[in-house]
């Protein structure tokens, strides 16, 4: 959680340092699916070829509660589009907080994700984003309920693939 607070502070400093241009540039609202973002809804603020994005996600699973909170920085660096001045190819980096609760345990994770992706602009208002990369586990906390023991078979991978598919609308 300490990493997530630092990232939010960094984003706030970045936006206020741009003389409030975050509010003057275009804004996207988005919905999609990603790992570790889950099914999510978010908002992205634009300044030239840079985007700052936040999203909240979950997955409806019986007997399990999931919450994902993400903050990302996008840098658009290549290509061109008929419908947008923003270059379609981008690099994305961000922090994700993921909390999962079952009847047996509560798990809390903090991840750093890095991805390359592309926006496919369908019109001046609508587009689809697709990206892929790697996610790095920064922190993991596990809380067992009712004095249960941890499972005998517990795989712990500090790095795993990440991806996302989203639909966005420019306001």
Q: Specify the DSSP element, H or E, that contains 15.
A: helix 2-17
Domain of residue 36 covers 2-170
DSSP secondary-structure letter at 16?
H
What is d(CA 128, CA 119) in angstroms, rounded to the nearest whole number?
6
36: exposed, middle or buried (C-beta count within 10 Å: 0-12, 13-18, 19+)?
Answer: buried
Identify the CATH number of the domain in which residue 65 sits: 2.40.160.20
Mean pLDDT for the stretch of residues 147-164: 73
Query: What is this structure's pTM?
Result: 0.77
**In terms of Cα–Cα distance, which of 108, 97, 165 is closest to 135?**
97
Question: Per-residue confidence at 2, pLDDT binned at 50, 70, 90?
Answer: low
**Domains: count for the chain:** 1
Query: What pLDDT was estimated at residue 8?
Result: 54
Tell me: the pLDDT tens digits for 62-99? 888 999 999 999 999 998 888 888 999 999 999 999 99
Q: What's the alpha-carbon Rg for the chain, to the nearest Å?
A: 17
């Amino acid at each position: 959680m300490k990493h997530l607070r630092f990232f939010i502070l960094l984003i706030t400093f970045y936006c206020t340092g741009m003389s409030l241009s975050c509010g003057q540039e275009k804004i996207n609202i988005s919905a999609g699916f990603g790992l570790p973002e889950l099914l999510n809804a978010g908002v992205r603020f634009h300044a030239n070829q840079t985007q700052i994005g936040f999203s909240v996600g979950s997955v409806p699973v019986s007997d399990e509660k999931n919450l994902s909170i993400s903050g990302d920085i996008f840098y658009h660096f290549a290509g061109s589009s008929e419908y947008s001045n923003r270059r379609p190819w981008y690099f994305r980096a961000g922090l994700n907080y993921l909390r999962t609760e079952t009847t047996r345990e509560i798990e809390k994770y903090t991840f750093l994700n890095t991805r390359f992706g592309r926006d496919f602009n369908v019109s001046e208002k609508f587009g689809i984003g697709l990206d892929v990369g790697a996610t790095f586990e920064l922190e993991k906390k596990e809380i067992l309920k009712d004095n249960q023991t941890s499972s005998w078979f517990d795989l712990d991978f500090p790095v795993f693939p990440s991806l996302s598919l989203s639909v966005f609308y420019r306001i």
